[in-house]
Amino acid sequence: MGIQYTMPKLAMAMNEGTINEWLVNHGDKVEKGQQIMNVETEKVSYECESPEAGYLCIVVPEGETVPCDTLIAHFCESEDEVAALMASEPANDHSANAQDAAAAPVVAEPPAATATTSAVAPAPAGAVPARAAGERIKASPLAKKMARDNNLNLNLIAGTGPGGRIIKCDIEEALVRGVQQAAAAVPQGGSIEKVRIPLKGMRKTIADRMMQSLQTTAQLSSNWESDITDLLATRKKFVAREQQLGTKVSVNAFIIKAICYAIKQVPITNACREGDDIVIYDNVNMGIAIAMPGTTEYDSGLMVAVLHNVERKGLVEIDLEMKALINRVRNGEATPEDLSGSTITLSSTAGIAPPGLSTTPVLNLPNAALVGPSTPVEKPVVHNGEIVQRTMMPMSFTFDHCLLDGEPAARFMTALHEALENPELMLA
């Protein structure tokens, strides 16, 4: 009965997805191509279009995570068919919850008292309820689940969604407010949990991949300083033509060009491991580590987006495409292509880390190498036989010793250093 709709596989590496939000209600009539749900994978969120037209019978509610190809909804020919389909599957847990996913206003009971109280549970001293006594509470299924998980009383939370509906961001704000209040209420001589964060979603993916990277590769990091005084002087000439070029060319664009120059000298650094094979690529797909600021300090993350075929592109083109790519990722508009296919990685902490700090970044699998520039510092150095002030940038190079020996790694670092100190080489 009805056409089955399963969790779509939106990227090659996607194994499961979380339904962040149904954009239509249970039983609504939808058109083919209409956006019907927001799905979060381990990397990014997607707005999914309906592959069929019909009345939507939701099987998996908001907030649930299921493997790809799991049944999540049906497309029915009529509202009667939706009702009949729901009645025919009473034993299906997801089906039983589907009514809740699409329900109109619902009354949420305050959480029962427990032996231990979460740090974010108490209401503010003298708090005024967000609604009148007995007033029905409207909340999305995801918001209700988050409230249950964190022992929050929905009656004390004001909703900012349509019609005053409590949505995800309202719960997140309440959690932050509760954490701040709890921190101020720590008893003398005692301690209290500040916050408890489930290790899931992007945070769990980052944790799993960092551990996998360190446990399955023989990583080695080398550090040095490159004099980028001349590079910065060259950049000023590009910045002066910002209006004409359409961008204020960044230092990272220069570093990407320098990496391409060094790869040309030592091609094996542009490689990945595939099973028992070392694959050396002819094109350079630059993975760019992007910090993903969260709504709080507790839900930030990191994603690696990919700038394809940078060896064919000029400095300005690289800069324009890199900034557009970063914007897409941070706005949740990245495509599967934006997040796959890297052959080497750039992970910059310049402007974030303290000046002069050397780093040892973890490899982005399956890449054999990663370049990690950090915040430059002005310091006295010997230059052309004289002690002068120059701008020195700390650099790091992490590589997998299973794929790359010390000698070619040293040649790569030398070539990269040479390009950074002599920018005319990378622009030739």
- Contact (Cβ atoms closer than 8 angstroms) between residue 386 and residue 409: no
Q: What is the CATH number of domain 108-196?
A: 4.10.320.10
pTM here is 0.65
Contact residues for 122 (Cβ-Cβ < 8 A; gap 6+): 178, 181, 182, 185
| Segments making up each domain of the chain, as ranges | 3-102, 108-196, 219-426
Q: Does domain 219-426 have CATH number 3.30.70.1070?
A: no
pLDDT 10s per residue in the chain (428 long)? 679 999 988 766 678 888 878 989 889 999 999 999 988 776 666 778 899 999 999 999 987 889 999 999 999 999 888 888 877 764 444 544 444 444 433 333 333 333 333 334 444 434 445 555 556 677 776 787 788 778 788 878 888 877 787 888 888 888 887 755 555 555 556 667 777 777 776 777 788 889 989 998 999 999 999 999 999 999 999 999 999 999 999 999 999 999 999 999 999 999 998 888 999 999 999 999 998 876 566 667 888 999 999 999 999 999 999 999 999 988 878 888 899 999 999 999 999 899 989 889 999 999 999 999 999 999 999 999 999 999 999 999 999 999 999 999 999 999 999 999 999 998 87
Q: Does domain 3-102 have CATH number 2.40.50.100?
A: yes
The letter for the amino acid at 253 is A
Residue 166 has what DSSP assignment?
B
Q: Which residue has the tokens 């001589």?
A: 189
User: Could you give the CA distance from residue 324 to residue 295 in angstroms, rounded to a whole number?
Assistant: 22
Looking at beta carbons, which pairs linking 89-98 to residues 24 or more positions away fall under 8 Å?
Answer: 92/59, 94/59, 94/60, 94/61, 94/64, 94/66, 95/59, 97/60, 97/61, 97/64, 97/141, 98/26, 98/57, 98/58, 98/59, 98/60, 98/61
User: Could you give the CA distance from residue 167 to residue 418 in angstroms, rounded to a whole number?
Assistant: 53
User: Could you give the CA distance from residue 400 to residue 327 in angstroms, rounded to a whole number?
Assistant: 30
